[in-house]
Structure 1
Amino acid sequence: MYWLVPAASGDLPTWQRAAAAAAAAGMTIAKFAAAALTQKMASGDTLISVQVKDPRPRTVRFHGHWLVEPESARDAARDALDPVGPGSWTVGIAETARGRFALVLYHYELTDELSVFDSLEQLSVATETDERVESEDVERAREEMRRRQEDAANYLDI
């Protein structure tokens, strides 16, 4: 059996923060870590990958969950008529593991675009004039957030 020594692994500040948070919650570090892991697993977070070009093409990844899942083919008829017009973009909105909001704009020919916001309200304001993002997409994200908050309130860790 191997034991990790926080000081040797360079994670001492992390363990100190965990010890302080556990003490504030009235738990041992082990119980606090188990509770945090249970909560993380219940959140449904997954690894999301986006191919961006800033300034070179690359794939970026982050943990989170979709509030608005990108559709594979939003409006094929409009795509055929206007391959780079607003209707040819597919919108995805995700909440990141750190509680931020990622707007992902997918295109079948162009490089995807990724923007990150601190709140859904910031995302909404930033996309008001962007024809590629419909107000319904942002409203669907808000509804999904409400649903997730209600689910979390009803979650029993038993």
Structure 2
Amino acid sequence: MRVYLPSTLTAARAVLRDRTVPAGTAFAVTPALREWYSQSDTEEMEFAALQNAARACLRLLDADPDAPPRRFVFAADVEEKGVRVRDDLERGAVEVLEPVPLASVRAVHTDDPADDEAQAAVRAAVDAVLEADLGSDDAAFVVDGAEGFELLWFATQELADLL
């Protein structure tokens, strides 16, 4: 099963050092996501799961104000038995029950480190994400602004260079 694990630059450094991505909340193509995107193909549904993980990065950045304003998402393949679907929390949410070896990570998605405009949008979204989660339309507009900057794709071999 392909899962998208949200992270931050700070946490990504620990992933590189420890060679594992910590267990925890991630996103995947779950039954509720399939139902919501019933007219979409698998690739579009996986993109939606990636977007959900990118939004979760904003919450992680809010909890770690010292982390640089860059979203990091690890795309990994894990055994389904090691994942518990949590559509009750959020559409597409899953709980990865065990740390994921770096060897199971297929790609790293992150904001362009050279794009100052993207970093400013992410910084603003971090400040607004909790209000957006609580239903503020103005805050949701700010969060959507960051989501307008697509995450770049990198091979896991490039992780050290990204950090």
Same fold, judged at TM 0.5 (above): no
Higher relative contact order structure (alpha carbons within 8 Å, sequence separation ≥ 6): 2
Q: Which of structures 1 and 2 has the bigger CA Rg? A: 1
TM-score after normalising by structure 1: 0.28
Which structure has greater helix proportion?
Answer: 2
